[in-house]
Amino acid sequence: MATLAQQTASEPAAASQAVPAAQPTTPAQAASTPNPAPSCHASTPPTSAAPHCHSTVTTSYEGIKLALGATLTVITWISWLLPDSSPLHQPLLMGALATLVIAITGWPILVSGWHSIPNLSPNMDTLISLGVVTAWTWSAWTIIAGEEESNHFAMAAAIIVFVRFGGWLESRSQQRSNDALTKLANISVKVARLENGTDIPIENLKVGMRFIVRPGENIPTDGVVVAGKSAVDTSLLTGEPLPVEVAPGSEVIGTALNTTAVLTVEATRVGAETAHAQLLRLLQEAQNSKAPVQRLVDRASAIFVPSVVTVAAVVLLAWLLAGADSTKAIAASVAVLVVACPCALGLASPTAIVAGVGRAAKEGIVIRSGDVWEETPRINTIVVDKTGTLTYGAPAVVEIAVAERVSGEATAVETQAAGQLATATQPPTTTEIPDLQLSQMAYFLASHSLHPLAKAVAQKCEASESSESSPDFSDLQISEIAGQGVCATKAEHTGHPNRTIAALGAASLFSHIPADLQEAADSATASGLSLSFIGWQPELDWHTQAGGLSPEATEAQVTAAKPQTATAKPQATGLFILADELRPGAAHTVRQLQSDGFSVVMLTGDTHAGAEIVAQKIKPDEIIAQARPEDKLNTVRQLQHDGRKVAVVGDGINDAAALAQANLGIAFSSGSDVALAASDITLMSHNFNSVSTALSIAKHTRSTIAGNLIWACIYNAAALPLAAVGLLPPAAAAAAMSLSSLCVVGNSLRLSRWKLS
């Protein structure tokens, strides 16, 4: 295949030894192991093998149950808030609707809470069950006792819906983890074409077999090139933005994209031994090794639930021992349970999460995992992918160096031919097309190539194609020279059948590179940039033919300015310098993260030279280049082993395993499906500043959850003694419990009005 630039790096080394596949633990297997009570909405402690109750049902079914419960809860609240005179303000109606919500939406929570009792391991489900059962039982008793206006059915239903929303969010995250493996497994070639033209299933391909890969096709399996020259896009696995030049003897990776020339490849690894299969195993291992996060509410529940039950029992026993009748003793004990009813504690986390998810959505941020709120405050290291994350992930023209002839004046050589004094000058450089002639010729040549660098040149020069003065190139024949570039020839040239009329690509396509252009090229190459020269023979210089030397140029001067002898190759007259450009705001965001106390590590599969270009602009704390997927995964593990809490920001398939292993994975919506499925947070816009915004929202949501829990605990600490000594009757305790819950909800809603700094 033709290349248009000098490549500064060779293809990364082959994948290291495959990591043994981790065996996933199924819900059935986990359930057969003795463990603390499972939680239907929250991750269990790291030492627990308890499954999630919702893991055996589909997220769509859970969503339907949640939607139905939410609808019934809204009707319950409307009935409760209507005036007493309204026919819909019926305690029996509220009780029936709340019972349906508990039975349809909240049943798994009650079952989990019940199972936690014999295991002596109360969790949030125990807490929620205690609150819901207490509120429902008290409300039912008020109806029987004729105190119908003291019911709290609406509160019980709301607790269930809010908590189950958190469970639904987490179940979606778990489903996406499985989707990541499925999507990665599906990124493979199904058929290989042998040298004799026979197509065989990829499963039948053996080591040593030779197959053909045409331009635009993915390579079926790992192998070594035996015939042909081409450029191969390996960004799928390595993240390197520019294609790698391959020739006979070069190793290639399965699933890599062949761009412009036919290759014959001999298979060296097939099936489970390929780099693609290894990446699949790495992703699975990372997902299975990531310990569940113990939620803050779970830790609070483990202390709160047994404490409240103990206090209620002690109060009952104390009243009886004091000689009080059983009615007063039971009333005091019930008052303790009601005032300590953990409705506020139960609402502390889910209401803040709902508000936090909504606030993030306003900023174009999708929270995909319930672990985000717990993990974000602990993060101290942010690992950032370069290609496609900090940069656009594709080459673009960043500078153009031109010889003077292109701007309508004679070059030093032509000036000498006209009998004038020649002077050596540095070529002017710009980021804009300096001349219509160069633009039109570059677009014509580049548009005939599939090479990524040619596409970048064509995109830069595309506007010139619509110009009214566009020349006619129909008599030129275009060909690509593998490893060099694009050439145009004319068939009628007798004596010079292989004479190149115009060329775009490597320096080898040109008879001469002016010293000033060579100096610019050397400087760009030393900086790790890519190059593409352009030049053409004088007969195509339609500006010169029109008298472009000067308005007063005579025909003799124009003739004298042209070379008098035909050459087989044109002289280079311009140079396109290309690079993977940095995204706007990336450098500012990195500095902001560093000022917030984060250590920023740039981790890329690109070459050291390519990484250094970006590093000079963003100035990360650490740089790791030429990292393959397994290197990225091992880097994250090493950072975690060193005691760091790591967030990974990436967008490619080669980032998926690192995203899954990280304490917090952040991916852009424009990235690969596999990366998205392995992440915890999705950024809808490719504005790198969204990373800082997402972290800020998650931190603020976590602090809101903590604030809600503190408020609920203070309320219980103040009200419990009053209820225990009989100064707070059950009805008053129920009213105080409702007020506490409303305060928690109000505090959570502040998130929607919170202004980002």
Known catalytic residues are 385
CA contacts within 13 A on the Cβ side of 290:
28
CA–CA separation, 3 and 482 (whole Å): 7
Residue 132's nearest CA partner among 147, 110, 162 is 110
Whether 336 contacts 724, CB under 8 Å = yes
CA–CA separation, 400 and 669 (whole Å): 33
CA of 384: how far to CAs of 11, 312, 651, 691, in Å?
A: 22, 53, 10, 10
Q: Which amino acid is at 44?
A: T
CA–CA separation, 124 and 128 (whole Å): 6
Q: Which amino acid is at 112?
A: S
Residue 109's nearest CA partner among 156, 144, 75, 149 is 156
CA–CA separation, 246 and 237 (whole Å): 16
CA–CA separation, 154 and 101 (whole Å): 10
* DSSP annotation string for 529-541: -EEEEEEE-GGG-
Q: Are strands 257-258 and 230-233 parallel, antiparallel or unpaired?
A: antiparallel
Q: Is 477 helix (H, G, I), strand (E, B) or coil?
A: strand
Rounded to a whole number of angstroms, the distance between the first and last alpha carbons of the chain is 51
Strands of the sheet with 664-668, listed across from one edge:
365-367, 681-683, 664-668, 646-650, 381-385, 599-603, 622-624
- Token couple for 242: 């520019």
Alpha-carbon Rg for the chain, nearest whole angstrom, is 35
Burial of residue 731 (number of CB atoms within 10 Å: 0-12, 13-18, 19+): middle
**Which residues are CB-contacts of 101 (< 8 A; sequence separation ≥ 6)?**
69, 72, 73, 76, 156, 157, 160, 161
Q: How many CB atoms lie within 10 A of CB 694?
A: 26
Whether 672 contacts 653, CB under 8 Å = yes
Maximal C-alpha separation, the chain: 129
CA contacts within 13 A on the Cβ side of 18:
17
Listed in order, strand segments (DSSP E) in 303-426 are 365-367, 381-385, 391-402
CA–CA separation, 79 and 95 (whole Å): 11
Whether 600 contacts 586, CB under 8 Å = no
Q: Are strands 210-213 and 263-269 parallel, antiparallel or unpaired?
A: antiparallel
Position of tokens 């809860």?
73
